Amino acid sequence: MTLKSFIALWTHRYHKYTHISKAHFLGYRAWLHFKGVKSKLKTDQKLIAIIRTEHFGDIVAAEPISRYVRSLHPNAHIVWFVKPSFSELVSHNPSLDEVFKEFCVTERKTLLDTGIFDEVIQLQFTNNNHCPKCQVFVDNPVADRRNINIFNYFNFGNLLEVFAQTGDLIPEKAAFPGDDRPKLYLQDKHRQKVDSLNLKEPFIVLHCQSNYAPKDWPAEKWEQLVEWLADNYPYKIVEIGLKSNLSVKTGSYRNLCGQFTILETAEVIRRASYFIGLDSGPSHLGNATGTFGIILMGSLNDFPEYNPYSGGYGRQENAVFVRQKGLPCSQLSFEFVKDKVAGVIKLS
């Protein structure tokens, strides 16, 4: 072993074990906090944990569960576990008493192993309960018993129904028993930020890149779509997301990528006449805000046809799915997508 590789190895080990030590410390510190919370509860009040830490579209899709659990346990102290970067999605939810911003799954495992919670509702399964630094996976016995995992989960329903099953809230492959329309809790600060943009003309929001390449549509086709929309409709075209990969010259197009928090982005979508995007986090924002969605979807891994949405998008009351059975999204032709979009906008 060379000196350089030796140093690299021990640097990696130092960071790994420092991370693990911090996770255990934070877990026990959280235990002391929740022990204090529990000491103030009445004997008929439960301390309940709901765990859905990522991704932000999944958290939005799972939001109805917070209201359903509250209906089952009106007096409980309900805590939602989430990664800090997604905490704004649940921090204003009136059905929750507390938001726990999770450092990593080792911290969570340390905390839950103390048994401080009376009930733990896991809306995740083993394969997406993972800390890459600790190399720790957390099992969900309910999901394991029902054989729900990342390879087959869409065989069990939409995301809300899948999460309700992994949380042992509903029987296998059952419909969600409560209001299945996801909600967002937008605040004045989100509205004020979007007010500053002066988006006064009618506009269409586009979201052109997901966090998973097989769900994407090529950039050159998006560029064609923008030009076609600008030439044929009196709408401004606004792109949202983390970053843009488009090269567009029309004056009707505005790039707002990377400028907003998740809920500020939701407020932009809420004000749009239409949302055109992929099966990704922002499409769940569109579903929750009530903006009509035109969703480009294709076959995904082992799912030739699938529906991740509940509510208006899920029932296609407020959305159109643009897809051809057996084709991935990347292979949808521009003409096919254009015709579907024209069919929707023409009816307005």
Do both 7 and 138 map to the same domain? yes
How many C-beta atoms lie closer than 10 Å to residue 179's C-beta? 13
CA distance linking residue 300 with residue 184, whole number of Å:
27
Indicate whether 251 and 114 sit together in one domain.
no
* Of 166, 199, 220, the domain-final residue: 166
My answer on whether 254 and 334 are in the same domain is yes
| Cα distance between residue 339 and residue 53, in whole Å | 38
Cα angle, residue 214 at apex, residues 210 and 217 outer, rounded to 5° = 65
Residues 147 and 36 grouped into a single domain = yes
* The pLDDT of residue 7: 64
Number of domains in the chain: 2
Helix H or strand E encompassing 101: strand 98-101
> What is the b/e burial string over 237-273, where b = at least 16 CB atoms within 10 angstroms of the residue's CB?
bbbbbeebebebeeebbebbbeebebbbbbbbbbbbb
Low-confidence ranges of the chain (pLDDT < 50): 348
How is residue 300 annotated by DSSP? B
Judgement on whether residues 220 and 136 belong to the same structural domain of the protein? no
Q: Quick one: pLDDT at residue 125? A: 83
Q: Do 195 and 338 fall into the same domain?
A: yes
8 A C-beta contact, residue 19 and residue 134: yes
The answer as to whether 176 is a domain residue is no
Cis peptide before 55 (omega within 30 of 0): yes
Q: How far is CA 162 from CA 120, 155, 269, in A?
A: 16, 9, 26
> How far is CA 43 from its chain centroid?
35
Residues 107 and 205 in one domain: no
Q: Are residues 134 and 283 in the same domain?
A: no
* 266 and 154 within one domain: no
In this predicted model, what pLDDT tens digit does every residue of 185-234 receive, in sequence order? 999 999 999 999 999 889 999 999 998 888 999 999 999 999 999 999 99
Same domain, 19 and 122: yes
- Domain boundaries, position 193: 188-345
Asked whether the beta carbons of 171 and 142 are under 8 A apart, the reply is no
In a domain, 306, yes or no: yes
Q: What's the pLDDT at 145?
A: 95
What's the pLDDT score for residue 326? 87
> 142: which 2 tokens?
């309910």
Which CATH number do you get for residue 139?
3.40.50
Position 281 in a domain: yes
Same domain, 158 and 235: no
Distance of alpha carbon 209 from the chain centroid: 14
CATH number at residue 282: 3.40.50.2000
